[in-house]
Amino acid sequence: MYVELHCHSAFSFLDGASLPEQLALTAANLGYPALALTDHNGIYGAMAFAQEAKSLGLQAITGAELTLLDGSHVTILAETPEGYANLCRLITEAHLGRADRRDPRLEFAALEARHEGLIVLSGCRDGLLPRLLRTEGRAAARACAERCRAVFGRENFFVELQRNYVRGDLALTRALTDLAHDARLGVVASGDVHYHSRERHRLHDVLVATRHRTTLDGAHGARRPNSEFSLRPLEEVAVLFRDCPDAVATAGVIAERCRAFDLTRDLGYGFPDFRGADRTPAPRALAELCRSRLEQRYARGSEHRSEAERRLEQELTLIEHHRLSGFFLVYHDLFDLAREVAADVRRGSRRATGNLLPGRGRGSSVSSIVCYLLGLSHIDPVANRLFLGRFLNETLASVPDIDLDFPREIREELIRRVYARYGAEHVGLVCSFPTYRLRSAVREIGKALDLPAGEIEQVAKLADSRSGSGLADELDQLPGFAGRRNAPLWKELCELAEEIAGLPRHVSQHVGGMIISSRPLVELVPLERAAMPDRVVCQWDKDSCDDARFVKIDFLALGMLSLVEECVELVARREGEPPDLSRIDFADQAVYDRICRGDTVGLFQIESRAQIQMLRRTRPRDLADLAVEVAIVRPGPIVGGAVNPYVRRREEQRRAREAGRPYEPPVDHPLLRDVLAETLGVILYQDQVLQVCQALAGFTAGQAEALRRAMSRRRSRELMAGFWEEFRSGAAARGVTERVAEKVFTQVIAFSEFGFPKSHAAAFGLLAYQSAWLRHYHPAEYYCALFNNQPMGFYSLDALGRDAKRNGIEIRLPDVNVSDVWCTVADEGKGRLKAGEGGRGAGVVRVGLAFIRDWSEETATAVVAERERGGPFRSVGDVVRRAPPQLKRPAIEHLVWVGGCDGFGLTRRELVWQVGLWLPPTAHPGDDARRRRQLELPLNHPFEHLRFGGLEAGERLLAEYAVLGFAASGHPLQLLRDALPAGVVSSDRLPGLQHGSGVEVAGLVVARQRPETAKGFIFVLLEDEAGMVNVIVRPDVYQRYRPAIRGEPLLWVRGKLAKDDGTVNLLAEEVRGLQCGMRSAECELEVWADNSALRTPHSAFAFLRSMRRVAPESKDWG
């Protein structure tokens, strides 16, 4: 029976138009007994394919189509486990052996040297033999065929025959058949499949056009001539090859041989041993280490000692039961390595003595006392009553996840050291496959269809749906595009966007996953170069690595940890000693006062618009409250309806405490009291879900584990329905009514959306507090580090700079004679503040030169080095003469425009004039350097001393936005306030107005959010010169004013004020872009009587027009 042995999926990037799952399903439906997946130079989709095929009862054959040095192709199939290992090595060699990582190729000699267990087919029309027939003739092709027979053996090399109704196929296959006969080789029929169904040929054409960066017309020569490259019904194959039935039968024979290797079963992965494995068995080594650490952490007689001992024994028993002792010890080795790395990275710095951890645990592993004792977690699980079951229990189905966060520099070096310790062949980073979403789909398909670029860009920007599959409906909603869904080309765009949704676009690096293997990893999965230099990724993503049961180590880079490192260092420079963040006062009410006011911009985890709103309602006062805060603004609690009850009960609890009364939070059933008391009767943490199921419905650890897995993988909703039956009957057995059981289960189901385990929330809550403490007591150092560690967090530099100002920190513009490469803390300011201090004069941050547009870090470093070598620059001519050649004229002009040369005593226009005298417009490479050398003698230029006026306030602000992307000298609304209609109020007036008042505001858009849980509501954060306004936009209002809301940097909003429990929001009724010459009666910038303002360069109109061009991008979420 025929089997398809040559098949490409979408993991032949931009050459396959179907997912492996679609191919497997189609093959199964057509009655194929087996299918080979042979993507170009990789097995990216092989594991997903094998899993899907297995579930369908289809045999999955693992292979690849490799490109040889001369560009010809060969098809390789893995017959045995040894063959698979060789396949992986060959693919790795094709990738790592080339300078250009985007063009992997293999030497034929490498294949000849390593073919054991492989079956080789001669390839498609671009294959080894057809190419030789075409370019060098029959004799050369025959010689090659005979060589292949000699090297691989007659049983392992076959001549591939493909018939896809392409002109010349018949002649070619007959020539190949003759060749095979002469060389005494077998022939095999194959389909050169590139999509699962005929209709997909259109998408395939588009992908080919995209690959060649042209339109469909432009790709005419590269595209396939017809739609005959899909999986065929078996009868059709028989008819197609009726003159050579042997070729068809051979395919079945080869498939049968390949049964000897099953990717889902025969990988043979092993985790490496820990250091000392040769001396002590792992369980004993782990127990000894943990017990000795326990003595140090929990002194005899201390409050938590006996619970800690009990907990340790419980965990050691579970760990030994699952044979994970070695796993934990290897992690301990890695963390020791991290400690060494941190010490090396910090050596010579002042923070080296600051008792900073090398990294921090996150996630459910933080609940483990073994992790705590090994140093993998920094939160005491006993004192914090953290639930173990989420991380470790009797029925663990997979290796537990231990995620570690590091500062960026430490993580980079740690990854290098892990490679060095275990060997490059044993380590690989996990890859990821970004998939086509609506924007990318519209842009790429639109370009291929040659649709007008401007319209494509509009659709890409304005459309709301994330997935390409909603495009037709989106077009109906967009102004100017209604009715297009059936217009020529637009109709195709919509259909193809639907097909391409979810297909992988390219290979990328996963944020932190690494695989370490005792066996060479290159024999388990091919490795290739990542886009980042010195990085090698394996060809499987997180899901495939999970399916392969690889142990994935997650080393994540957390911007806030880098910020903390830098901040501590800066504080140490000022004070001589770094602060010990493990010993600060964690109950400092001054810090909590600011948090409760919502003064949290720039802090870790609690700075977003939604968090600020929540903080003003929940008012956290200790670390446990902060953990709740971190966890509560998440889809899990929100969809589960936990938020409002929690907030209400918090208020009740506060009032009860003030009155000296005890407070009992209500629970849905007494059985839940113990589990939910600390969160006032609602489910906020993911582990509470499991505890609730155990307490209310008697779930065993196994059922709870199965439920947890169902919550985290795809299709979890369908699986959840199955769990309802078990839950209902378990609850009934405990005397719980169905009504209560259903109510609780609904909350449980909500956590199939995302929720945090308590351990994770506790770890993040601690870091949130430490960030708040640092900002409160060392604001200058904090903001300096915040600026230097962007991008991170919820806000742009522009918004952060203004928040700094509100906290008494002056942000000073770059100065060529003062600035360093990055931001620095100036010596002025009060330094360490006492409790309650703050306000003006708290400190000064000087912006670094590398922040200037067109200045790179290297350029800035060179300028600073030159200044240190040769003394301060004396004039702009001196800058031009001494600056490194890579600093081009536009970059110098940017420095001048933003005030970087103000110290030379001339106006900025005069300085730019001078730059122009010394340097011509940038035209020829090499010119600048030559001209600068001519300026060695400081002769005066005849026009050097022409006078020009200074910049107006508006011009200075525009220059800052254009050059830095943020403004330090003010807010645009300051300059527009007087020109706004009288009814427009500033944000600081809003708290004094009544709930329900009609108001108008105007501001710069800082952030736009469209959370999935918000049912179509949009949240826009506006900022004016006095502060921020949270605007809530209903779906109907959004539809009416969508282009403005999505596209305008400055908005005018009219709406009703909503005040509730310390929060102030504006419910929008009308939203427009703030523009010049608006004709709306409700919003017209005041015009001077003679309209001259329209043409005056310094008018509000002129400023606004320019401001729209240079306004910083808002941060858009969702």
Partner 1 sequence: MWRINDEWWRQPIVRRYVEVVLEGGGRLVLFEDQITGEWWMQKP
Sign, CA dihedral 517-523-525-531, equals: positive
HSE (side-chain half, CA atoms, 13 Å) at 917 = 19
**Rounded-to-integer distance, Cα 602 and Cα 273, Å:** 42
Sequence-ordered list of residues with C-beta below 8 angstroms from that of 520, at least 6 positions apart, any chain: 423, 425, 426
Q: Which stretch binds partner 1 (CB under 8 A): 200-208, 754-762, 826-834, 1063-1071?
A: 200-208
How buried is 62 (Cβ within 10 angstroms: 0-12 exposed, 13-18 middle, 19+ buried)? Answer: buried
CB 68 within 8 A of CB 98: no
Residue closer to partner 1 (CB basis): 202 or 882: 202
Amino acid at 338: A
The distance of Cα 311 from the centroid of its chain, to the nearest Å, equals 36
Residue closer to partner 1 (CB basis): 197 or 856: 197
- Pairing state between β 1027-1033 and 1063-1073: parallel
**Rounded-to-integer distance, Cα 497 and Cα 438, Å:** 7
**Rounded-to-integer distance, Cα 122 and Cα 76, Å:** 9
Q: Find tokens 């893995």 and name the residue.
A: 78
Q: Which stretch binds partner 1 (CB under 8 A): 226-234, 424-432, 613-621, 893-901?
A: 226-234
In the list 29, 31, 143, 165, the residue contacting partner 1 (rule: CB under 8 A) is: 165
Least Cβ distance, residue 125 to partner 1 (angstroms): 13
Least Cβ distance, residue 10 to partner 1 (angstroms): 20
Specify which residues 541 forms β-bridges with: 431
Least Cβ distance, residue 1075 to partner 1 (angstroms): 38
Crossing angle for the helix pair 738-750 and 686-697, to the nearest 10 degrees:
160
192 belongs to the binding site for partner 1 (CB under 8 A): no
In the list 337, 489, 710, 792, the residue contacting partner 1 (rule: CB under 8 A) is: 489
Least Cβ distance, residue 181 to partner 1 (angstroms): 24
In the list 167, 714, 924, 1015, the residue contacting partner 1 (rule: CB under 8 A) is: 167
In the list 141, 216, 357, 1057, the residue contacting partner 1 (rule: CB under 8 A) is: 216
Q: Where are the beta strands (DSSP E) in 79-227?
A: 118-121, 157-162, 186-190
Least Cβ distance, residue 165 to partner 1 (angstroms): 4
Least Cβ distance, residue 215 to partner 1 (angstroms): 10
Residue closer to partner 1 (CB basis): 307 or 492: 492
Least Cβ distance, residue 813 to partner 1 (angstroms): 53
In the list 153, 225, 839, 998, the residue contacting partner 1 (rule: CB under 8 A) is: 225
Q: What is the footprint of partner 1 within residues 521-580 (CB under 8 A)?
A: none
Residue closer to partner 1 (CB basis): 228 or 810: 228
Q: Which stretch binds partner 1 (CB under 8 A): 22-30, 160-168, 811-819, 1021-1029?
A: 160-168
Binding mask 421-450 for partner 1 (x = CB under 8 A): ----------------------------x-
The angle at the Cα of 329, spanning 324 to 333, to the nearest 5 degrees, equals 150
Q: What is the footprint of partner 1 within residues 492-511 (CB under 8 A)?
A: 492
Least Cβ distance, residue 226 to partner 1 (angstroms): 4
Reply yes or no: is the peptide bond before residue 791 cis, omega within 30 of 0.
yes
The angle at the Cα of 685, spanning 683 to 689, to the nearest 5 degrees, equals 65
Least Cβ distance, residue 167 to partner 1 (angstroms): 4
Q: Find tokens 């009544």 and name the residue.
A: 994
Specify which residues 1055 forms β-bridges with: 999, 1068
Residue closer to partner 1 (CB basis): 200 or 617: 200
Binding mask 89-118 for partner 1 (x = CB under 8 A): ------------------------------
Residue closer to partner 1 (CB basis): 169 or 927: 169
Crossing angle for the helix pair 758-777 and 623-632, to the nearest 10 degrees:
110
**Rounded-to-integer distance, Cα 741 and Cα 241, Å:** 63
- The torsion defined by the Cα of 341, 347, 349 and 351, in degrees rounded to 10, comes to 50
In the list 39, 93, 228, 798, the residue contacting partner 1 (rule: CB under 8 A) is: 228
Residue closer to partner 1 (CB basis): 301 or 488: 488
- Pairing state between β 824-825 and 843-846: antiparallel
Residue closer to partner 1 (CB basis): 167 or 947: 167
Least Cβ distance, residue 174 to partner 1 (angstroms): 14
Q: What's the DSSP call for residue 278? A: T
Helix (H) or strand (E) holding 1117: strand 1115-1117
Residue closer to partner 1 (CB basis): 169 or 455: 169
Specify which residues 469 forms β-bridges with: none
Residue closer to partner 1 (CB basis): 202 or 867: 202
260 belongs to the binding site for partner 1 (CB under 8 A): no
268 belongs to the binding site for partner 1 (CB under 8 A): no
Q: Which stretch binds partner 1 (CB under 8 A): 168-176, 316-324, 550-558, 791-799?
A: 168-176
Least Cβ distance, residue 626 to partner 1 (angstroms): 56
Residue closer to partner 1 (CB basis): 228 or 893: 228
Amino acid at 945: H
Least Cβ distance, residue 225 to partner 1 (angstroms): 5
Least Cβ distance, residue 492 to partner 1 (angstroms): 5
How buried is 834 (Cβ within 10 angstroms: 0-12 exposed, 13-18 middle, 19+ buried)? Answer: exposed
Least Cβ distance, residue 484 to partner 1 (angstroms): 15
Specify which residues 556 forms β-bridges with: 405
Q: What is the footprint of partner 1 within residues 448-487 (CB under 8 A)?
A: 449
Identify which of 597, 1050, 1008, 1007 has the alpha carbon closest to the alpha carbon of residue 800. Answer: 1007
Residue closer to partner 1 (CB basis): 168 or 872: 168
Residue closer to partner 1 (CB basis): 177 or 227: 227
Helix (H) or strand (E) holding 1052: strand 1050-1060
Least Cβ distance, residue 228 to partner 1 (angstroms): 6
**Rounded-to-integer distance, Cα 62 and Cα 900, Å:** 61
In the list 6, 40, 202, 889, the residue contacting partner 1 (rule: CB under 8 A) is: 202
**Rounded-to-integer distance, Cα 726 and Cα 676, Å:** 21
- C-alpha dist (Å) from residue 150 to 109, 153, 156, 539: 13, 6, 10, 32
Q: Which stretch binds partner 1 (CB under 8 A): 218-226, 610-618, 638-646, 953-961?
A: 218-226
Token pair listed for 178? 């003759």
**Rounded-to-integer distance, Cα 776 and Cα 835, Å:** 8
Least Cβ distance, residue 444 to partner 1 (angstroms): 14
Residue closer to partner 1 (CB basis): 471 or 883: 471
Q: Which stretch binds partner 1 (CB under 8 A): 161-169, 529-537, 734-742, 900-908?
A: 161-169
201 belongs to the binding site for partner 1 (CB under 8 A): yes
Amino acid at 369: I
- C-alpha dist (Å) from residue 351 to 533, 830, 934: 29, 21, 46
169 belongs to the binding site for partner 1 (CB under 8 A): yes
Binding mask 971-1000 for partner 1 (x = CB under 8 A): ------------------------------
Residue closer to partner 1 (CB basis): 209 or 736: 209
Least Cβ distance, residue 216 to partner 1 (angstroms): 6
Residue closer to partner 1 (CB basis): 226 or 1080: 226
Amino acid at 199: E
**Rounded-to-integer distance, Cα 123 and Cα 73, Å:** 5
Binding residues (CB under 8 A) for partner 1: these are: 165-170, 201-202, 205, 216, 223, 225-228, 449, 488-489, 492
